[in-house]
């Protein structure tokens, strides 16, 4: 009798032993998704601490902590969603869904990495430790329940990005503009809603079977939400650049010059979502779409030059 692909893969992993398990755990942590944790560096850059070696080190350490924490969340999600992931054309290849990594090994790895990450977070200071713990608890609730609640699911994802930004602020000990926190929330909502739309369009009639919450959305509803968030994000960023507090803090009003980069980046992403059926994986888009990659690089260079170029 022919053996199923899942059983064959699982047996192969068992024969390879511990090394195979470790490799599959690392794969399940999804290193390609860790670019989302760059939000941690917002406090370092906009807090004018880029020239402070200790602040740079602490921000990098915070980035590592959030990479571990987000990896734990991915592991927990994969364990809970393994049955429906096997119905998805891409997610079926993930280690737990494919059977290359057992749920037991995944759960043990998630528990160990959680302890390591939270311990490292508190070693960087109690405020950062509390933010890291809040992130883990919030995303744990997302995996268990909140991802099944319409609208709350995308708001929770966005809140995770805001917590990353807050963590980056407290770990280097700087004040952070409420404008930027709002921008983090709106920008993350834009990506989360675009991801939902891409999933809905890609899966079509199978959407309900793969993820129950997708049955609560429609492309039209998501397009309306995306339109609101897009306009809000661009306006919030423009207002932030000319806010008197921003101008006073940085000693320049030239951040306004970076608005065209924000416009192009968001419009390019919308083009990929609507014309190329992309957006299902924001990290992949950021790393593979050359125009967006160039736009982000130019925006970052312009921000650093404007904020730091006139300082002694």
- Portion of the chain with pLDDT greater than 70, in percent: 89
Does the pTM of the predicted model rise above 0.75?
Answer: yes
Higher pLDDT, 211 or 28: 28
Distance CA 169, CA 176 (A): 7
pLDDT, tens digit, 9 for 90 and up, residues 59-99: 999 999 999 999 999 999 888 888 877 877 777 888 888 88
* 103 touches 218 (CB < 8 A): no
pLDDT at 2 over 80: no
pLDDT above 60: residue 310:
yes
Domain ranges of the chain: 1-176, 177-312
Cβ partners under 8 Å of residue 29, min gap 6 = 67, 68, 71, 72, 74, 75, 113
- For the domain bounded by 1-176, which CATH number is listed? 1.10.357.140
Counting residues of the chain whose pLDDT is more than 90, the rounded percentage is 50
């Amino acid at each position: 009798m022919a053996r199923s692909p899942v059983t064959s893969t699982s047996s192969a992993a068992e024969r390879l032993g511990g090394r195979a398990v470790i490799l599959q755990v690392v794969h399940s942590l999804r290193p390609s998704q860790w670019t989302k944790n760059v939000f941690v560096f917002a406090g370092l850059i906009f807090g004018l601490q880029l020239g402070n070696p200790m602040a740079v080190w602490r921000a990098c350490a915070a980035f590592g902590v959030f990479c571990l924490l987000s990896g734990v969340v991915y592991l927990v999600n994969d364990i809970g969603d393994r049955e429906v992931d096997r119905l998805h054309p891409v997610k079926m290849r993930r280690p737990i869904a494919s059977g290359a990594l057992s749920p037991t090994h995944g759960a043990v790895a998630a528990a160990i990495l959680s302890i390591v990450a939270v311990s490292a977070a508190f070693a960087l200071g109690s405020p950062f430790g509390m933010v890291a713990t809040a992130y883990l608890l919030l995303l744990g609730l997302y995996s268990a329940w909140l991802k099944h609640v319409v609208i709350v699911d995308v708001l929770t994802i966005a809140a995770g990005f805001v917590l990353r930004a807050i963590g980056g602020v407290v770990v280097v000990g700087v004040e952070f503009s409420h404008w930027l926190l709002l921008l983090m929330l709106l920008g993350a909502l834009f990506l989360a809603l675009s991801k939902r739309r891409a999933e809905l369009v890609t899966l079509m009639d199978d959407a309900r079977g793969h993820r129950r919450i997708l049955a609560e959305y429609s492309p039209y509803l998501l397009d309306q939400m995306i339109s609101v968030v897009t306009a809000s994000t661009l306006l919030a960023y423009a207002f932030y650049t000319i806010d008197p507090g921003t101008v006073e803090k940085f000693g320049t009003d030239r951040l306004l010059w970076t608005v065209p980069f924000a416009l192009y980046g968001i419009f390019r992403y919308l083009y990929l979502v609507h014309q190329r059926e992309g957006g299902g994986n924001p990290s992949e888009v950021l790393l593979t779409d050359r125009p967006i990659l160039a736009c982000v690089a130019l925006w970052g260079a312009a921000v650093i030059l404007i904020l730091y170029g006139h300082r002694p």
